[in-house]
Amino acid sequence: QSVLTQPPSASGTPGQRVTISCSGSSSNIGSNAVTWYQQFPGTAPKLLIFSNNQRPSGVPDRFSGSKSGTSASLAISGLQSGDEADYYCAAWDVSLNAWVFGGGTKLTAL
Amino acid sequence: EVQLIQSGAEVKKPGESLRISCQASGYTFTNYWIAWVRQMPGKGLEWMGIIFPGDSKTKYSPSFQGQVTISADTSLTTAYLQWSSVKASDTAIYYCARHPGNYKLWSGFFDFWGQGTLVAVSS
């Protein structure tokens, strides 16, 4: 059972806008910034969003992040087949004194 | 170019000791944290702990405290994750990841990742 809660799967048709939610508590998302990682099968995770809504250099602006209270969201606009991957949210938990991750969301382009 | 190159796959028997490594290049090793993250087969990511090579300050997840040891050798720009006695439940892929040193731990992120080391433990 992950500390941060994500839906196990999400899907959309090419070109569509898809959102992935991440729910936490006052000790993690409510207190600290959220990061998002993208992981393709058999490869290492890649930083997608940091500080709630910042994109590292090289990440397309089709990817955006937001946070409100104890929840966060990752939005992918103009969905492409190449976006099919697992997506993880993460935040520092002040009660556990540790980084915590969501269980991951498998994104499928229909 | 920032790179984190991890050691190769390991096959161990329960009770054996193990150390895996993560060699960093392309940046000042002592200015960034290095974390270890576990991914069990078909499962999600779990943060194990982190070390700041500049002063060897280390922090562990409560779930992994006492189960593993994280260390670093600044002369080799290499971080390590070690077990004194592995168990079958340690079977997983282990990733190292860099955390910017100019961010507090609770406000930062993992910007570069190693390719992962597969550890298989079986009798």
- What's the whole-number mean pLDDT along residues B71-86? 98
On chain A, the residues whose CB falls within 8 A of the CB of B50 are 99
| Cβ count within 10 A of residue A99 | 30
pLDDT of residue B69: 98
For residue B80, the Cα-to-chain-centroid distance in whole angstroms is: 6
| Residue A86 in this model has a pLDDT that exceeds 90 | yes
Task: Report the pLDDT value the prediction gives residue B94, as an integer from 0 to 100.
Answer: 98
Put simply, whether A87 touches B (Cβ < 8 Å) is no
- Distance, CA of B59 to CA of B69 (rounded, Å): 10
pLDDT of B91 higher than 90 = yes
What is the CB neighbour count within 10 angstroms for residue A60?
13
In B, what residues contact A, Cβ < 8 A?
35, 37, 44-47, 50, 59-63, 95, 97, 105-116
- The residue-averaged pLDDT of A62-67 equals 98
B47 contacts A99? CB cut-off 8 A: yes
Q: Which residue from A minimizes the CA distance to B103? A: A51
* Chain A environment of B60 (Cβ under 8 Å): 98
Work out the percent of chain A whose per-residue pLDDT is above 90: 98
pLDDT 10s digits, B17-60: 999 999 999 999 999 999 999 999 999 999 999 999 999 999 99
pLDDT tier for residue B16 given thresholds of 50, 70 and 90: very high
pLDDT for the residue A75: 98
Contact B35 A103 (CB under 8 A): no
Q: Name the amino acid, one letter, at B20.
A: I
As a 3-state breakdown, chain A gives helix, strand, coil percent values, each rounded to 5, of 5, 50, 50
The pLDDT of residue B64:
97
Helix %, strand %, coil % for chain B, to 5?
A: 5, 50, 40
CB B110 to CB A104 under 8 A?
Answer: no
The predicted model gives A33-60 an average pLDDT of 97
Task: Choose between B105 and A35: higher pLDDT.
Answer: A35
Mean pLDDT of chain A: 97
Q: What are phi and psi of A35, to 5 degrees?
A: -120, 155
Counting Cα atoms < 13 Å in the Cβ hemisphere of A80 gives: 5
How does pLDDT run across A71-83, given as a tens digit for each residue?
999 999 999 999 9
Assess whether pLDDT exceeds 90 at residue A20.
yes
pLDDT at residue B105 tops 90: no
Q: Among A46, A99, A105, which would you mutate to test the B interface (most chain B Cβ atoms within 10 Å of its Cβ)?
A: A99
pLDDT of residue B104: 85
For residues A21-33, give the mean pLDDT: 97
Residue of chain B nearest A43, judged by CA positions: B115
- The answer, for A99 touching chain B at a CB cutoff of 8 Å, is yes
Cβ–Cβ below 8 Å for A101 and B116: no
Examine the pLDDT at B103 and tell me if it is beyond 90.
no
Q: How many percent of chain A have pLDDT more than 70?
A: 100
Q: What is the largest CA-CA distance in chain B?
A: 44
Strand order in the sheet with B69-73: B3-6, B18-25, B78-83, B69-73
| A90 in contact with B, Cβ within 8 Å | yes
Chains A, B: CB contacts under 8 A, how many? 67
Paired tokens of A89: 């949210």
Spell out which residues of chain B touch residue A51, defining contact as CB-CB under 8 Å. 107, 109
